[in-house]
Each structure stands twice: as C-alpha cells, then as structure tokens.
Amino acid sequence: MTTMNNALEIAGLGIRRPTGAVLVRDATFTIKPAEIVLLVGPSGSGKSTIVKLLGGLLETGPGGWGVTGRLTCGDRKLDLESERSHVGGIVFQDHALFNDLSALENLRIAADHAGRPPAPALLADATALLGDIGVHKTVASCSGGQRQRLAIARTLLADRPVLLFDEPNSGLDVRMARRLGELIRDLCVGMGKPALIVAHHVKDLLPVADRVLLLDTRSRRLVEVPKDADAIEAELMKLDSGSAASTGTAQIDTAAPQNGKDRRNPWPSSIGHRSRLYWFGRYMAEYFWELCVSPLMLIYMGAGALIMGFVSMWFGFHYNSFGGYLKSLLHDETLVGLGLVQGTVAVPLISSILFVARNNAIIAADIGNRVLSSQFKAMDNLGITARTYIYSAILINMVMGALMLLVLSLGVAGWSSMQTWHLQFPQQNFELWREHFFQKLILEGGHVTPRMGWVLLKVGLSALLAGAAAIVIGGGRKESVLEINAAIARSIIIGVTLTLLVHAVISVLTL
C-alpha cells in the first residue's frame, strides 16, 4: 500500500464561486503516499472548498461552482470540469456521525458501501482506534474524543485513496491536538495513504506534517511555505486575515487505547457485511416506528378518533333543526347520514390532519438536523444513497402509516359513536345502530362501497404530498437550530394546507 499509486496530483486547479468570484486560480500540487500536507489560509479563503471538491461534495454545473483542472490518483485520471472526484474520504470537523445509528452501525454502513468488503489489514487499522468504545454504544453517549475516533475509523473503512481532515484540532488543547496529529501520522504511514489537513491552528500539527501549503488570497494560488509556525503566521498576517480567536482548550481524549489492536477487541468480528437491502430495511423499520406505531402516536391518533366519534354523534342528534318529536321519527335517516359523513369525510380529514401535523414536524426536524450536522454530506462522501434509504423510507411510511391509522381511527370513532348513540337511545338495540350507521359504507356480504376507495386515495395522497413537502423544507440549507425550528413550522403549515386541499377537492368530486 505504500506505492506511488496512492499519490495525489492536481494540475491547473481553478475554483470559481457560483457568484462568479474566483476562489482558486491555476493551482498545482502533489501529495505523495503516506505524506501529510497542511493546508492553511485565512478564514473563508476556500480551504474547506478544496476538501469538498476532493471528496466529491462540491456542486458544479450550471448555477453551481465552476471548477477546472485535472486530477490524477493512482490509475484514476479526472477532468474536474466535467467529472466529480471521489478520491478523498473526509473526516468532518463536527464528526457528522449518524446519531440514529449505534457506534457499530456507523462503521458497518460505511464498510458495506465501500464497494468491497474491507481487507483484514484495513479492518484492523480502523478498529484499533476503538478499543475503549462499546460496539453498541450510542453516538450521544460517546465523549468528544470517542466521536472523533469513530469518525476517523468510519472514513478509513470507506477505503478512499486519500484522507482529508477538515480542522480536526478545532477545540483541542495543545497536548490533545498533538496526540491527534500522531494518530493521523501513524495511520498514514501504516496505510500508505496521503493526507490533506485543513488547519486553522497549525502549531499543534506542524510536528507531524511533511509540508505546508498556503492558500494565498491575493494571487488565489497555493504556495508552499516553510514548516515554521512564525513564518506561517507572518504570511497569514500579510494576507490581513485578522486575529482569529481560539476555539477553546477542550480536554478531549483523542488517543486510542494502547491495547486497541489486541485480540480482545470485539470490533473486527462485529462489523461483517450486509447488503444495501438490509440498510433500506433498517431505515424503513426506524421510520415505521417513529412515524406510525410509537405508543404516543397511537394514543394521539386514538384520542382524536375517540373525540370525533363522540362529537359527531352527540351534536348530530342534539343540535339540529328538527329536534324533539321529529328526532325519533328521523332517527334512522340521521344515523345513516352521520355514518356516511363520519366515515368518508370527518374522520379521514381529522385523522390526516393529526397524522400530517405531527409527522411533518418530526420529518422536518430530522432532515434539518442531518443537514445542519453534515450527515448528508458524510453519506455522500461515503457513497451512501441517502435519498434511497431515508427519503424513500419516509414517503413509504407516510402513505402506509396514514392508511393504517385511518383504519384504526375509523374503528375507534365508530366504537365511540356507538357508545354515544346508546347513551341517547338506551332502549334501542346495537343491531339497529350497525344496520343504519354502515348502510352507505358497507355492502351486503361485508364488502366496502366504492366511495371508500376515494377515501383511501385522499388520505394516502395527502400524506405523500405532505411528506414530500416536509423533506424539501427540512432539506434546505440550515445554518442554525433556529432555522430548523422555522422549517418545522413551515412544514406543518404547508403539510396541513395540502391535506385540506386534497381532501376538499376529492370529497367535492366524489360525494
């Protein structure tokens, strides 16, 4: 693995913002196998953009970033103007771990989408970092250092030719940052892979770096500078970068345990290999539980149906224009009408509104969090098809859950209506209620009337459109939690509005 096949060569690189401003002009550089290169420059100069480009995350084409140049990595030769680079595995600054998956599942999903099962040596190198982390530990319960090592191990299992680190020492004190640098050094030497590290605070990483490249914001070119902290700082001062404040001195354990490679490490044997169908099923099950059958969801939908059944029956007989003596004479017709309206209009509408309002909030929050925490970018970099897994699982569960909970709501509302009717007419037999209440809903022999097919259509269609709206709104650019909150509100409003429109149009056309 320590051959020149792992060298990265970039020639004539040019990057232009979507606005037309030039970010990089005619840059050329090479990173040899096992070589570590620091990329430094003022904030906003374009360092992270270069990492995104090498990791295949930069959106090019009409209306997007403009890129020129040629890339060579092993036997891969790419024209960056027309081809997307996927040579770099990115370790994101905020880790971008998938917090709905366990620590083990974060590694499994990367290994299963790498194109081929990981070689034993690669598996050993990646999992050697994780000796102190339980395989079934949640991401939320991991320390900052453990998350960082999980992110590195996940990127290693993706088995890209080049390792890319986006400010990995952000928030670390000097000692911990140097230990992180030594860890990166050992990985690059052991695996023979080159590494490009975007660094804002360079002193901690200089001891492990082979070279330093400066992104000069005046010439828009990459210039090699001496491996000297004072010289680098002087160059940055010339670029009028300003005095960037330190991000803190967090005491994070970034060093892997000394016994990380011993045979007691459970990670290598736990990773195994799973098909993409398994991962689709994994996300289907996750969203089925959250969107359809969680206990709170069932209680919520059941309570709405219970109230609707009571209200429609109670007010249907007590507050009307005939009342008194005529109430008994028109009892049967009233019961037939209430059954028709409740089964085809009222309960389907209320059920859909409750379902969409609750689930659109969940979807917008979930998707928005994945955007804000760079999880979708990490999926793209790892070759995981987020749209196939997450978006499809959401939409399928929205339609399936809406129909399933409609049946539940109709049953609960029907029972509630029957009990409410019996309170008003205790002398009547329940058979009378069943005969008239379902007269226009169920045919002889137990078959439902064709109008119930239209009910299923409007409930399923409204759930599909509302779910798609929640995905689009949640998937927009997010810079803060406040923007996620605003997306949740928009998602509920638009989802409920679409639901009302679909139900109104289909009801008017079919009743």
What sign has the CA pseudo-torsion 423, 424, 428, 429? negative
The predicted model gives 429-449 an average pLDDT of: 81
Note the pLDDT of residue 169: 77
Instruction: For residue 260, name the pLDDT band (cuts at 50, 70, 90).
Output: very low
- Where residue 445 falls among pLDDT bands split at 50, 70, 90? low
- Residue 320 pLDDT class (50, 70, 90 cuts): low
- Supply angle C-alpha 289, 385, 192, rounded to 5: 125
Residue 250's pLDDT band (cuts 50, 70, 90): very low
pLDDT band at 5 (very low <50, low <70, confident <90, very high): low
Which sequence spans correspond to the domains of the chain?
Answer: 4-257, 278-510
Q: Encoding tokens for residue 119? A: 């070689």
Report residue 328's pLDDT band, with 50, 70 and 90 as the boundaries: low
The rounded distance, in Å, linking the Cα atoms of 455 and 339 is: 14
Calculate mean pLDDT across residues 110-135: 88
Distance CA 323, CA 245 (A): 77
pTM of the complete model: 0.86
pLDDT of 89 above 50:
yes
| Res. 361: pLDDT tops 50 | yes
Note the pLDDT of residue 243: 37
Report the distance separating Cα 153 and Cα 251, nearest Å.
21
The 10 Å CB-count burial string (b at 16+, else e) for 155-180 is bbbbbbbbbbbbbbbbbbeeebbbbb
Candidates 3.40.50.300, 3.40.50.80, 3.60.10.10, 3.40.50.720; CATH matching 4-257: 3.40.50.300
Read off the pLDDT of each residue in 269-279 and give the average, rounded to a whole number: 90
CA pair distance 490, 474, nearest whole angstrom: 9
364-414 pLDDT per residue, tens: 999 999 999 999 999 999 999 888 899 999 999 999 999 999 999 999 999
Q: How far is CA 287 from CA 359, 389, 476, in A?
A: 10, 10, 20
Torsion of CA 186, 38, 228, 34, to 10 degrees: 40
Indicate the average pLDDT of the chain. Answer: 87
Edge-to-edge order in the sheet of strand 22-31: 22-31, 8-16, 66-73, 76-79
pLDDT band of residue 244 (cuts 50, 70, 90) is very low
Query: In Å, how far are 63, 169, 282, 362, 467 from 288, measured between CA atoms?
Result: 37, 39, 10, 12, 13
**H or E segment and range at residue 203:** none
DSSP 60: B
Q: Kindly report, residue by residue over 155-190, the tens digit of the pLDDT.
A: 999 999 999 999 887 766 677 778 888 889 998 998
What one-character-per-residue DSSP string does 36-55 give? EEEEE-STTSSHHHHHHHHT
Q: How many CB atoms lie within 10 A of CB 255?
A: 17
